[in-house]
Amino acid sequence: MNKDKFKHGEELFCPGHRACPGCGAALTSKLVTEATGPKTILSMPTGCMEVTTTPYPESAWGISWIHNIFENSAAVAGGIETAYKSFSKRGKEGYMDYEDVNFVVLAGDGATFDIGIRSLSGMMERGHDVLYICYDNEAYMNTGIQRSSSTPIGAATTTSPAGKESFGENIHKKDMPSIAAAHGLRYVATASVAYPEDFKKKINKALETEGPKYIQVFAPCPRGWKHESKNTIDIARLAVETGLYPIFELEDGQLTNVRKIKDRKPVEEYLKAQGRFKHLFKKDGGGEVVENIQKIADMNAERIGIDK
């Protein structure tokens, strides 16, 4: 009865996908397709979104979509882009719209920060006209919440568990936007699912820029971060408002646009909302880790200039 009323046949990202309720990455996927439009070829590595959107023989995608392996989504996108350009140059029928086609990668933080960084670096260095979007949920969620180099200090995962001696992850989150910018990219940005318009605007701005570009979007994971599914957006907003996830744009390596925060909230508010940080408030010595996390937020504020 619902199918005529709700018209799902035209969507570029369709319901029926098997992501958990309240999934930040699924929301990211929707926003990406809304911004890129139908003339898009999306390359996706292994990860939550690959597994949940394309269990054979189903697909939630209404755009061209390809999966190969965990390591190589950037190389696949670069290859497609080059082949398309070459066919277009040679006048091959069906490929003359090269200028109008968006070549996009959508990958998780595991595939971006760790496993796929070699092919991502290669793609950026060679200068393919590809937009690489990383949905950052700060661990390998698909395989059961193992730490990645995006996992922040203090977060408990199955491979950085909190215990008698341990306060969860003890290594700093890798600064991936700076690594992307260091490749000489003309456009690098961070975004959050809490600000969909800002995210979509950044995708469109990136697509207007020729060459490689990188956007990293903060996408909470209720399952892995141990918060209620309804709080996905609240938590994404808190990450920005505490200064732990600064939202900015880097154009030609220069900081050009920063989301300013008036009266930054204390990091406790963000940490207490999630089960992955709960040991910090239960165990002796946890306060010291919280202080260190506050220092990270203060450093972000100073380095990027987010205070209003």
Partner 1 sequence: MTDDPYKNLKISKGAVVKPRTSLVNKTGSWRSERPVVDHEKCVACGNCEKFCPDMAIKETEEGKFEVDLDYCKGCGICAEECPVKAIIMKEEEK
State the residues that interact with partner 1 by CB under 8 A: 2-3, 5-9, 11, 13-24, 26-27, 30, 53-54, 56-63, 65, 193, 196, 222, 228-234
Q: Taking the complex as a whole, how short is the minimal distance between the CB of residue 65 and partner 1, in angstroms?
A: 8
Q: Which is closer to partner 1, CB of 14 or CB of 301? A: 14
Q: Taking the complex as a whole, how short is the minimal distance between the CB of residue 229 and partner 1, in angstroms?
A: 4
Beta carbons of 141 and 48 less than 8 angstroms apart: yes
SS3 111: helix
d(CA 65, CA 63): 6
Nearest Cα residue to 179 out of 138, 134, 143, 146: 134
Decide: residue 284, CB within 10 A, 0-12 exposed, 13-18 middle, 19+ buried: exposed
Q: Which is closer to partner 1, CB of 68 or CB of 82? A: 68
Q: Which is closer to partner 1, CB of 27 or CB of 188? A: 27
Q: Which is closer to partner 1, CB of 234 or CB of 268? A: 234
Token pair 């994404």: residue: 236
Q: Taking the complex as a whole, how short is the minimal distance between the CB of residue 50 and partner 1, in angstroms?
A: 12
Decide: residue 165, CB within 10 A, 0-12 exposed, 13-18 middle, 19+ buried: exposed
Q: Which is closer to partner 1, CB of 5 or CB of 164? A: 5
Q: Taking the complex as a whole, how short is the minimal distance between the CB of residue 107 and partner 1, in angstroms?
A: 18
Q: Taking the complex as a whole, how short is the minimal distance between the CB of residue 170 and partner 1, in angstroms?
A: 32
